Amino acid sequence: MGYLKQIDIENFKSWRGKQIIGPFMRFNCIIGTNGSGKSNVMDALSFVMGERVSSLRVKHIRDLIHGAHMGKPISNTAKVAMRYCTAEAEEIIFCRIITGNSSEYRIDGIHVTFAKYTEELEKIGILTKAQNCLVFQGAVESIALKDPKERTKMLECISQSKEYAAEYNKKKEALLKAKEDTQFHFNKKKSATVERKQVSQEKIEAQKYQELLDELHQNRLQLCLAELYHNEKGISVLSDTLKKGQDAVAAKNSKLVMWEQMVKTQKREHGRLTREQQHIDKEIWCVS
């Protein structure tokens, strides 16, 4: 973790000419009587960190030049440089210069825009808008008197979570949608499992029904074969009986034909004898 190494001041507020405050350690404490310049150290830090003029106890930025509060500014410019030492022991110099009624920003001697200046400060954890590094007199009491919503807004500003609110809401919506999709697919899977179980049960029942149906067909086939066998056997017996009857009828028919022939022969003989008798009777009558 980095730390503030030194402050270089030139014609800023109560400091005339070039002054060096530091070097600082990782932990420092500045003590002194009232009016000894403790607040001006805070002002110098606030100034170089890009704080607004209204927070530095002056009306105009030119009033920060040494002697300006008495109407006798010692120069047209003033400068505050902050030497910051990173965790890798690399030194970065942030410098803010007053020129007339405007400010000029430099990083390691290179002129940059205010946006670039604040961006580089943010990289080392200093948020100009959130004032997360400096706590002024009365600030603690002011924070304590804030209501929960105001303190929440302040903490969101300090932690920069407010800047990620849109992204957070977007990701939250995506998370909710993902949860809904997950629940939807879970319910769909659950329904599919139930349907699959039901279909499996129906399949088992269908298989049982098909087995019973096949068994029924087999039994019907066996019954038909048994009936066919018995019918053929009955037909064979009847055929034999019929043949015997037909043979008996044929034999009787033969006898009948024979008797009919005999009857015809007897009739012819009877006719002949009858004619002979008549002839004899006629001869006898003629003789008489």
- Tell me the per-residue pLDDT of 147-175, one tens digit each, with 9 for 90 and over: 777 767 766 665 556 666 778 788 888 89
- Tell me the per-residue pLDDT of 232-262, one tens digit each, with 9 for 90 and over: 999 999 998 999 989 889 989 889 989 989 9
Say whether pTM exceeds 0.75.
no
Q: Judge: domain 3-128, CATH 3.40.50.970.
A: no
Buried b (16+ CB within 10 A) or exposed e, 257-267: eeeeeeeeeee
Strand order across the 110-112 sheet? 18-21, 3-10, 77-85, 91-99, 102-107, 110-112
- Tell me the per-residue pLDDT of 27-53, one tens digit each, with 9 for 90 and over: 888 888 887 778 888 888 888 888 887
Biggest CA–CA distance in the chain, Å, is 220
- φ/ψ (deg, to 5) at 8: -105, 125
**78, 97 Cβ separation under 8 angstroms:** yes
Per-domain residue ranges of the chain: 3-128, 132-159
**66, 16 Cβ separation under 8 angstroms:** yes
